[in-house]
Amino acid sequence: MDKALLERIRARKWFYQFDLPDGTRTECYLPPGVEGVHTTRLAMLDEALARRFGPSLQGNTAVDLACHEGYFAFHLARRGASPVLGLDARPEHVADATMMAGAVGATAFSARVIDLEQAKAADIGTHDITLMLGLLYHLENPVRALRLARAVTRKALYLETQVVPHMTAMVDWGSYAFQRRMVGVFGIVDEIGEEHAPEAGVGGICLAPSIESLEWLLRKVGFASVERLVPPAGGYEQHVGEKRAMFAAYVD
């Protein structure tokens, strides 16, 4: 146990509550109650992974798109996935995840900096399991990101995002005589000027889908089956209130 490293980690607050090898836990800088977004995601992810892969992820590789401090990527590694690659646009997140991996013994984990708005599948490679948690609604090109996620996934994608109210209608398409059904919507959210914030999008223009739009898109970008995950009893209010949603999307 590297006591000096643990002291460095305990000297600051983190986005996640990490259990450290000496029995202590990191302090989360989110307001009280909001950290429930993490535990609810984890509960939904665990339940879906167990149904699809059983109790162990041994023999499966994984990638975490927007890994932040590595919390969920480490969890996949603890369940047996190896190797586990973490990707993030912010160098400080990659540095934090790498430091924390050393502290918690996540030897299967490695991380590197990459802007997923610009990345190609060849930059990432293919992986059995892909995570995209808390990323999609911070992007200005979410459909491109979904296509990228499909291209790098061999077996299963687990995606979680903030969502907006749904709307559908018949709309004119060049003329009143030609109409098409609008199958869904994205809400445009302005984070311009907040790009420095560690949990904001790096581009400032954010498009958040409705639940129905996201499910439709996951099928259209090439996933064979899509399952909306149910939050646990007592889960985070945003998930229970359908302000956030989580999906599992399977290649076959």
Q: Where are the chain's structural domains? A: 3-250
Tens digits of residue pLDDT in 140-186:
999 999 999 999 999 999 999 999 999 999 999 999 999 999 999 99
Residue 1: pLDDT band with limits 50, 70, 90? low
Query: What is d(CA 76, CA 121) in angstroms, rounded to the nearest whole number?
Result: 21
Residue 64's closest CA among 140, 160, 144, 137?
160
Query: What is d(CA 234, CA 190) in angstroms, rounded to the nearest whole number?
Result: 31
Instruction: Give me the CATH topology for the region 3-250.
Output: Rossmann fold (3.40.50)
Dihedral-angle region of residue 70 (phi above 0 means left; psi in -120 to 50 means alpha; beta otherwise): left
- Percent of the chain residues topping a pLDDT of 70: 100
**What mean pLDDT comes out for the span 18-42?**
95
Mean pLDDT of the chain: 96
Residue 129's closest CA among 111, 150, 103, 156?
156
Contact between 103 and 21 (Cβ < 8 Å): yes
Query: What is d(CA 100, CA 96) in angstroms, rounded to the nearest whole number?
Result: 6
Tens digits of residue pLDDT in 99-138:
999 999 999 999 999 999 999 999 999 999 999 999 999 9
Residue 196: pLDDT band with limits 50, 70, 90? confident
Residue 33's closest CA among 238, 193, 251?
238
What is the pTM (predicted TM-score) of this model?
0.95
Tokens for 234? 């007592």
